[in-house]
């Protein structure tokens, strides 16, 4: 019977392999892989959320009605995990438990470790229970500390989430702020005691109970370690730094002893690990001291140490404005044509002919020279002569036209004497001119390794040296030149060189183009590098009235920045941004990272003809004051006449760039000296940076090249909008509106204003919650109410003061504005 029963059971065992999938661990590992992917996704979305929630919130709020945005290709979010990540993090943090939600990531990581290790760290169910309890407790604590508290602050970021805010509001309604504080502290203490069971060593308590501290057995709080058999072994207090002699552990219960050899083995392993850690941390110090032996590792080791420390500080402490567009890629050199090389072709026959002609011309006027040398540049050759004793310099200076006649060349310029040298220079154009393309300058070591704040690559000097200067130190640039002489190419050269060097977070352009065609190609980088007035459709400014408003808005931006510098106790933008990056300035007090702003005006004469003093006065004010706060001007004109470039303009533009002009008067107007009328055109220019006057061949960049660079940048993800300047309302518009501030109000403005006045509470976060809008839109509505006078200015973390007290006061204001 037994045998038959065994045979009967055999077929059943053959059906068991179908369950081997769950028995041999495959199912557990598959669950682990899926859990790893889910956890990685949650980590990316949660970590990205604090940096992107403002940009994504409007879109996520729309998702509460419909999740179609998840499949809509036209909806772009900033969260690194995409629309699903933005929605998930929003539900967990904003609508859930705030920063306490991040504790759930710890539980998932604990679960993953348990799935892939033979010896479990602990019970998944127990850890999950404590995680949930901690989340439920931490959420209201964070909400009380950051979003509610005693001052009734209402910050934009929901540190405790909707759950924490609701719990705190309920507790405050029942027990008040002080009672809520004690309730939360008590709950936290109960949780700590329940989980960790700490032993409090109080001397008076020991005396009261009669316990002798010296005879007390070690407890869990005294670094108790449990063995595999359940016994508790009191480990020496020097366990982390083991002594050569290891003491035997005491048994504190009746369970079998753990093998002392096992304890010693573990201590030796821990000592080895500790020694390895000490060696790893000591490596940079040893490398730094390696300089003493004179080997080549000295500099390299020092750099490695410095780089490692720098990265550590940045990752831990410093704010990085570039993280908003962390995936931004700088344009590469292959977008530009390669037309020329660094080598200058020297025509020896031409040099010899010119030398003979110069010597003969000077001899015909009884001028002897003792030495002559030549420096060949891309378009001009500089002949330096040393006159004989007794020869007056003015006599040679007056022979400019005679030398040009004998050489049969245009563009002869005499420098008598050359600054810093005991010679006289005669600049003669080359018969065969060579291109200086911008790619050569941008690929040069001088440009790549430049530490200038605003490096601009202009061209090459006569000695073939790259002319790369810092616009921030100029600090403003005045350009002039007749039509077709290279002025527009010069502007493109400056803009492209800045685009190759600066991140969108560091630099913004305000582009003014009255001709409407020269700068229009830059429209494609509006959301990366351009700044404009609020509610304007086009970032490139072509209308004269809008130019006046924009320049005045820049003056307002300048005033606001000076207030920030004053509050931040900084003298200039570099000091201020350095403090902000090191987190020494609190954004809740209005502080922010300040990008450089470059105002480019392509045709200034047209603006002066149409706007006159309206444009001249704010330009002069910017030129006088804007250097310290990072606003720099590039003003170009075809007609450098005295009624265009007035005294107030010239006085504040120490750096000037002159292409070929039609007369010596125009040259003196722009440079305060002649010479620009002798240039040969096609990018030949003179640059004055004070007393020094340098002749340069401007680098050439063609329009298709600029378009490729702009397209490369514009096709990348940019900011949600262009950089917004303060809104400026001219006096005519204010007078027409009866002193009000006419503008396009938000569709929710009236309802929001009514709610603020009714509740007597001015808070951006309140608008977000009540109307389900994002941070940016709520902030704009609040700014509009401040402009009208409904609420006062921002006060850091506190709510704004409501200036209008009743609906009866508000309604006439809204009717006047036509809202």
pLDDT for residue 733: 47
Residue whose C-alpha is closest to residue 388's, from 410, 409, 404, 365: 365
Q: What phi, psi does 723 have (nearest 5°)?
A: -65, 120
- CA torsion, points 355, 356, 361, 363, in degrees to nearest 10? 110
pLDDT for residue 278: 44
Crossing angle of the two packed helices 604-611 and 544-567, in degrees rounded to 10: 100
For the stretch 534-559, pLDDT in tens is 878 888 998 888 899 899 999 989 98
pLDDT for residue 509: 96
- Mean pLDDT across the stretch 149-162? 66
Q: Report whether 93 contacts 49 (CB < 8 A).
A: yes
Query: What is d(CA 163, CA 141) in angstroms, rounded to the nearest whole number?
Result: 11
Domain 348-429 has CATH 1.10.260.40: no
Residue whose C-alpha is closest to residue 479's, from 597, 640, 608: 640
Q: Report whether 493 contacts 458 (CB < 8 A).
A: yes
Neighbours of 680 (CB within 10 A): 20
Percentage of the chain surpassing pLDDT 90?
22
Q: Which residue has the higher pLDDT, 735 or 35?
A: 35
Q: Considering the chain, tell me which residue range(s) the CATH 3.30.980.40 domain(s) occupy.
A: 348-429
Judge whether residue 94 has pLDDT over 60.
Answer: yes
Q: Considering the chain, tell me which residue range(s) the CATH 3.40.50.300 domain(s) occupy.
A: 454-714
Query: What is d(CA 735, CA 779) in angstroms, rounded to the nearest whole number?
Result: 27
Q: Considering the chain, tell me which residue range(s) the CATH 1.10.10.10 domain(s) occupy.
A: 728-817
What 8-state DSSP symbol labels residue 460?
A: E
Q: What Cα–Cα distance (Å) separates residue 197 from each residue in 130, 131, 231, 715?
A: 14, 17, 18, 58
Helix (H, G, I), strand (E, B) or coil at 635: strand
What 8-state DSSP symbol labels residue 160?
A: S
For the stretch 68-92, pLDDT in tens is 666 666 677 788 888 888 888 888 8
For the stretch 393-431, pLDDT in tens is 888 888 888 888 888 777 788 887 887 788 888 888 888
pLDDT for residue 798: 74
Query: What is d(CA 819, CA 816) in angstroms, rounded to the nearest whole number?
Result: 8
Tell me the whole-structure pTM to 2 decimals: 0.55
Query: What is d(CA 106, CA 101) in angstroms, rounded to the nearest whole number?
Result: 10
Q: Report whether 676 contacts 658 (CB < 8 A).
A: yes
Crossing angle of the two packed helices 487-501 and 703-714, in degrees rounded to 10: 30
Q: What Cα–Cα distance (Å) separates residue 587 from each residue in 125, 403, 526, 592, 794?
A: 42, 65, 26, 6, 12
pLDDT for residue 772: 76
Polymer length of the chain: 819
Judge whether residue 223 has pLDDT over 50.
Answer: no
Q: Which residue has the higher pLDDT, 580 or 30?
A: 580
CATH class for the domain made up of 728-817? mainly alpha
Confidence tier at 614 by pLDDT (50, 70, 90): confident
Query: What is d(CA 142, CA 150) in angstroms, rounded to the nearest whole number?
Result: 13
Taking CB atoms within 8 Å and a gap of at least 24, the contacts of 237-246 are 239/267, 239/270, 240/270, 240/274, 241/274, 242/267, 242/268, 242/270, 242/271, 242/274
In this structure, the strands spanning 507-512 and 531-532 are unpaired
Judge whether residue 716 has pLDDT over 90.
Answer: yes
Cα angle for residues 318, 495, 642 (degrees, 5° grid): 120
Query: What is d(CA 669, CA 355) in angstroms, rounded to the nearest whole number?
Result: 33
Q: What phi, psi does 478 have (nearest 5°)?
A: -105, 125
Judge whether residue 219 has pLDDT over 50.
Answer: no
DSSP string spanning 687-726?
Answer: EEESS-EEEEEEPB--HHHHHHHHHHHHTS---SSPEEPP
Judge whether residue 358 has pLDDT over 70.
Answer: yes
What is the end-to-end Cα distance of the chain in Å, rounded? Answer: 97
Q: Assign 3-class secondary structure to 370-388.
A: EEEEEEECCCEEEEEEEEC
Domain 454-714 has CATH 3.90.1140.10: no
DSSP string spanning 307-322?
Answer: HHHHHHHHHHT---GG
Judge whether residue 114 has pLDDT over 80.
Answer: no
Judge whether residue 729 has pLDDT over 80.
Answer: no
Judge whether residue 807 has pLDDT over 90.
Answer: no
Q: Report whether 358 contacts 405 (CB < 8 A).
A: no
For the stretch 742-792, pLDDT in tens is 457 788 888 899 999 988 888 887 887 788 777 777 888 888 888 888 888
Lowest mean pLDDT among 153-162, 408-417, 676-685, 804-813: 153-162
In this structure, the strands spanning 655-658 and 466-470 are unpaired
Mean pLDDT, all residues of the chain? 77
Lowest mean pLDDT among 64-73, 457-466, 678-687: 64-73
pLDDT for residue 263: 53
Query: What is d(CA 390, CA 142) in angstroms, rounded to the nearest whole number?
Result: 87
């Amino acid at each position: 019977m037994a045998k038959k029963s065994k045979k009967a059971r055999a077929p059943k065992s053959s059906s068991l392999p179908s369950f081997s999938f769950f028995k041999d661990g495959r199912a557990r590992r598959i669950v682990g892989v899926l859990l790893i992917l889910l956890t990685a996704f949650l980590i990316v979305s949660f970590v990205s959320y604090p940096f992107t929630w403002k940009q994504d919130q409007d879109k996520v709020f729309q998702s509460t009605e419909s999740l179609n945005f998840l499949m809509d290709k036209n909806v772009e979010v900033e969260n690194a995990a995409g629309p699903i990540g933005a929605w998930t993090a929003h539900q967990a943090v904003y609508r859930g438990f705030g920063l306490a939600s991040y504790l759930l990531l710890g539980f998932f990581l604990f679960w993953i470790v348990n799935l892939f290790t033979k010896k479990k760290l602990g019970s998944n169910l127990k850890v999950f229970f404590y995680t949930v309890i901690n989340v439920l407790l931490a959420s209201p604590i964070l909400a009380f500390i950051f979003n509610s508290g005693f001052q009734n602050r209402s910050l934009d970021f929901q540190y405790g989430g909707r759950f924490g805010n609701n719990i705190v509001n309920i507790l405050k309604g029942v027990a008040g702020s002080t009672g809520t504080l004690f309730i939360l502290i008590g709950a936290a203490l109960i949780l700590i005691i329940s989980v960790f069971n700490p032993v409090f060593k109080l001397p008076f308590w020991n005396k009261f109970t009669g316990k002798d501290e010296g005879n007390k057995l070690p407890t869990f709080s005294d670094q108790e370690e449990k063995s595999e058999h359940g016994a508790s072994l009191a480990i020496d207090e020097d366990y982390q730094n083991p002594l050569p002699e290891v003491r035997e552990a005491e048994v504190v219960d009746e369970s079998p002893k753990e093998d002392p050899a096992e304890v010693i083995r573990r201590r030796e392993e821990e000592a080895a690990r500790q020694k390895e850690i000490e060696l790893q941390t000591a490596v940079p110090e040893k490398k730094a001291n390696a300089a003493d032996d004179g080997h080549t590792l000295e500099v390299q080791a020092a750099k490695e140490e410095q780089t490692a420390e720098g990265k550590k500080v940045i990752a831990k402490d410093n704010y990085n404005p570039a993280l908003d567009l962390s995936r931004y890629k700088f344009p590469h050199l292959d977008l530009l044509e390669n037309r020329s090389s660094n080598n200058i072709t020297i025509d020896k026959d031409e040099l010899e002919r010119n030398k003979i002609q110069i010597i003969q011309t000077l001899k015909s006027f009884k001028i002897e020279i003792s030495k002559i040398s030549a420096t060949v540049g891309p378009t001009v050759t500089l002949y330096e002569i040393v006159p004989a004793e007794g020869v007056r310099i003015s006599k040679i200076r007056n022979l400019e036209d005679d030398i040009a006649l004998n050489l049969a060349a245009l563009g002869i310029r005499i420098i008598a004497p050359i600054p810093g040298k005991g010679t006289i220079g005669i600049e003669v154009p080359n018969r065969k001119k060579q291109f200086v393309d911008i790619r050569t300058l941008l690929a040069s070591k001088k440009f790549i390794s430049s530490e200038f704040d605003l490096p601009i690559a202009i061209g090459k000097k006569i000695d073939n040296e790259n002319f790369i200067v810092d616009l921030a130190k100029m600090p403003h640039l005045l350009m002039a030149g007749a039509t077709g002489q290279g002025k527009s190419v010069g502007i493109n050269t400056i803009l492209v060189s800045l685009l190759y060097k600066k991140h969108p977070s560091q630099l913004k352009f305000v582009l003014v183009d009255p001709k409407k065609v020269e700068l229009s190609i830059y429209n494609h980088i509006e959301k990366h590098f351009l700044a404009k007035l609020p509610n304007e459709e086009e970032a490139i400014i072509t209308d004269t009235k809008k130019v006046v408003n924009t320049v005045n808005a820049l003056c307002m931006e300048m005033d606001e920045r000076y207030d920030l510098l004053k509050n931040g106790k900084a003298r200039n933008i570099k000091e201020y941004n350095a403090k902000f990056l090191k987190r020494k300035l609190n954004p809740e007090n209005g502080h922010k990272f300040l990008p450089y702003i470059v105002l480019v005006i392509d045709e200034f004469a047209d603006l002066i003809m149409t706007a006159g003093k309206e444009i001249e006065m704010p330009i002069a004010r910017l030129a006088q004051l804007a250097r310290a706060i990072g606003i720099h001007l590039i003003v170009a004109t075809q007609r450098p006449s005295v009624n265009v470039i007035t005294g107030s303009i010239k006085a504040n533009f120490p750096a000037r760039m002159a292409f070929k002009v039609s007369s010596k008067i125009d040259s003196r107007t722009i440079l305060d000296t002649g010479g620009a009328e002798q240039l040969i055109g096609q990018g030949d220019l003179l640059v004055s940076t004070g007393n020094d006057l340098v002749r340069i061949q401007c680098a050439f960049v063609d329009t298709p090249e600029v378009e490729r660079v702009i397209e490369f940048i514009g096709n990348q993800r940019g900011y949600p909008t262009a950089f917004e300047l303060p809104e400026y309302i001219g006096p005519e518009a204010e007078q027409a509106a009866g002193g009000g501030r006419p503008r396009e109000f938000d569709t929710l403005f009236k309802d929001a204003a009514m709610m603020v006045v009714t509740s007597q509470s001015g808070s951006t976060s309140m608008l977000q919650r009540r109307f389900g809008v994002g941070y940016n839109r709520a902030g704009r509505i609040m700014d509009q109410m401040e402009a009208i006078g409904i609420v006062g200015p921002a006060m850091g973390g506190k709510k704004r003061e409501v200036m209008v007290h009743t609906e009866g006061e508000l309604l006439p204001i809204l009717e006047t504005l036509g809202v």
